[in-house]
Amino acid sequence: MNTSGEPNADQPLSGKKSLLAILKPHRTVPHARWTAESRWALSAQGVFVLCLGLIIFGLGDALIIQSHLGNAPWSVLAQGIANQTPLSIGAATFLIGGLVLLLWWPLKQRPGFGTLANIVLISAALQVGLYIFPVAPQIFLLQLLYVLLGIALVGAGTALYITCGLGPGPRDGLMTSLHKLTGIRVGRVRLFIEICALIAGALLGGRVGLGTALFALLIGNSMAISLSVVNRTAGATK
């Protein structure tokens, strides 16, 4: 309120600027109130946020699958395995996580509590999501909404669980281990791994389509925006 008693015209603009600042993609993983000192330094708050993030991630992945526009690369592989075996997509996701984790040992990577929780909770939440979310009607805009909402949830879930500091997921751990072993850039290693998963899944009958492309294009920004929200709302410190 200014001296004339009229509302300050700058207040709405200031609010918009604050919102834009919160939604500006964050370039690093912030240190949040719940960030652990080590991969096995458990706290009630850290474990809660970790589990919440992993469940959100799994539900988001389920939405993308139920869009029928194309899955995220690792879900293409999980669906392909499910198509060729008696396993459900959730069980196939669990199997993939476990097999990828086995590849850590010769690379001298060791899991944390979050690594093991990642395998269990994402698989379970994904399967629950496939039960509770109906398949999107064959209306393109609704299918697209499923994909975009799913990507937003996966990004938010990722931001929550990686800020816990309780260990990377199996795929991320494999990526960083191969990066250290080969010296190849992390982004290129990740791209190679995901392309391999995508091709294998497609050959097994997993669904590839527009949703797959949108996931590849948008998941990075979705996660970065969510990290920015965590940084500005969860007492993050440098």
Q: Is 26 among the domain residues?
A: no
Q: Is 210 among the domain residues?
A: yes
Q: Is 15 among the domain residues?
A: no
Q: Is 237 among the domain residues?
A: no
Quote the pLDDT of residue 8: 54
Question: b/e string for 167-205 if b means 16 or more Cβ within 10 A?
Answer: bbbbbbbbbbbbbeeeeeeeeebbeebbeebbbebbebe
Question: b/e string for 22-61 if b means 16 or more Cβ within 10 A?
Answer: eeeebeebbbbebbbeebeebbeebbebbbbbbbbbbbbb
Q: Is 8 among the domain residues?
A: no
> Going residue by residue through the chain (238 aa), what tens digit of pLDDT does each one get?
454 444 454 455 555 656 555 566 766 788 899 999 999 999 999 999 999 999 999 999 999 999 999 999 999 999 999 999 999 999 999 999 999 999 998 888 889 999 999 999 999 999 999 999 999 999 999 999 999 999 999 999 999 999 999 999 999 899 888 988 898 887 788 889 999 999 999 999 999 999 999 999 999 899 999 989 998 887 645 4
Q: Is 23 among the domain residues?
A: no
State which residues form the domain around 203: 43-230
- C-beta neighbour count of 4 within 10 angstroms: 6
What is the tally of structural domains in the chain? Answer: 1
66 bridge partner residues: none
Q: Is 33 among the domain residues?
A: no
Q: Is 173 among the domain residues?
A: yes
